Structure 1
């Protein structure tokens, strides 16, 4: 499936089907035991990604690519960064805006649409948590290359790792589609992604970080840095 088609499917899912689910999951409201494992996993992954950046981000311009309900955005702004927060879903951007503390609002510029748009400008760092998990390796590599040409520091992002469980879920999703199912995550090998990125000729090197496993949340962090 092409990048544009996948982008459209992701927009439809998060803006039309799953807004309430994600609003609840990213809050402190009670959720099911399964979703609680996902919430804990996402919290752990966000903490790992943030650990790759300095605690003092004053003067830094950072892209939160796929900001969702704004948890990463808020934590980056608390460190003093100026944030460009973009998401494909207008509904989720609205939630992120409403949750952002008043004192941090001057530091954040919210946008709806494709995170690769050139008019978003240049950045010191890019954070892309779970916003590339639906794309094939060539599309991820091209997306990273596009962003790296406009980034002076590092890009920290996540993918679904290529594990037996996720591969089984991937094939089940392909065989038994449902109209309310999220777009299918595509499992990836870090080594294969690194080769795909190197083939773009873009600056920097792609390296794996730690994998987070928490119940139904299984995610691999990676980064591109010079």
Structure 2
């Protein structure tokens, strides 16, 4: 499946099928035990990715690529960054806008659409938390190449690691396809991904978060 086809599928899922689920998951509302592990895992991953950036982002322009309901966006703005928050789902962008405190609104520009669009301009840093997890190795390389051309510093992002559990789930999804299922995460091996992008930059390991049903690997790419 091409990048465009995967992007369209992700948009359909998050903007029409799963909006209420993600709105609740990214709030303080009670959720099931399974979703609570995902919420805790995402909180831990957000901290991990933010720790790769300078504590003071004043004067720096940062892209929150796949901003979702805006939790990362708010943290970046609190550190002083001028944030461009982009998500494929207009509905989630609206939720992020509504949740952003009034005193931070001047620090953030929201947009819905393709996070790779050159229309967003250049950046000092990029964070893409769980927004590349549905894409192939080739598509991730292409995304990093496009973002790298417009990024002066680092691109911190996540992938689904090739753990036994995730590989079992992935093969099960391939064996039993359903037209209404959510987009399937594609597991990656960081070292192989590093070799794939070695001609355009370098990947370093920022660590893994394993919280129940949330398993994600943080990586940093520097052009």
| TM category, shorter | over 0.9
- What residue number does 1:219 align with? 216
What's the CA shift string for 1:52-106, capped at 9, x where partnerless?
A: 0111110000000000000000000000000000000001001000000000000
Could you list the structure 1 runs, at least 4 aligned residues long, displaced by more than 6 angstroms after superposition: none
Q: How does 1:201-220 map to 2 (within 5 A)?
A: 201-202=199-200, 204-220=201-217
State whether residues 155 and 225 of structure 1, in contact with CA within 8 Å, keep that contact through their aligned partners in structure 2.
yes
TM-score for the superposition, normalised by structure 1: 0.97
- What residue number does 1:143 align with? 143
What's the CA shift string for 1:171-215, capped at 9, x where partnerless?
A: 1111223344210000000011111112xx32x311122010000
TM-score for the superposition, normalised by structure 2: 0.98
Q: How does 1:20-31 map to 2 (within 5 A)?
A: 20-31=20-31
Distance in 2, Cα, partners of 1:41 & 1:96: 20
**1:156 match: secondary structure:** strand
State whether residues 116 and 143 of structure 1, in contact with CA within 8 Å, keep that contact through their aligned partners in structure 2.
yes
Distance in 1, Cα, partners of 2:180 & 2:25: 17
Say whether 1:43 aligns with 2:40: no
Aligned residues: 223
In structure 2, stretches of 5+ residues that fail to align are none
- What residue number does 2:184 align with? 184
Shift of 1:144: 0.5
**1:207 match: secondary structure:** strand
Distance in 1, Cα, partners of 2:144 & 2:192: 14
Q: How does 1:157-168 map to 2 (within 5 A)?
A: 157-168=157-168
Distance in 2, Cα, partners of 1:62 & 1:85: 8
- What residue number does 1:173 align with? 173
- What residue number does 2:6 align with? 6
In structure 1, stretches of 5+ residues that fail to align are none
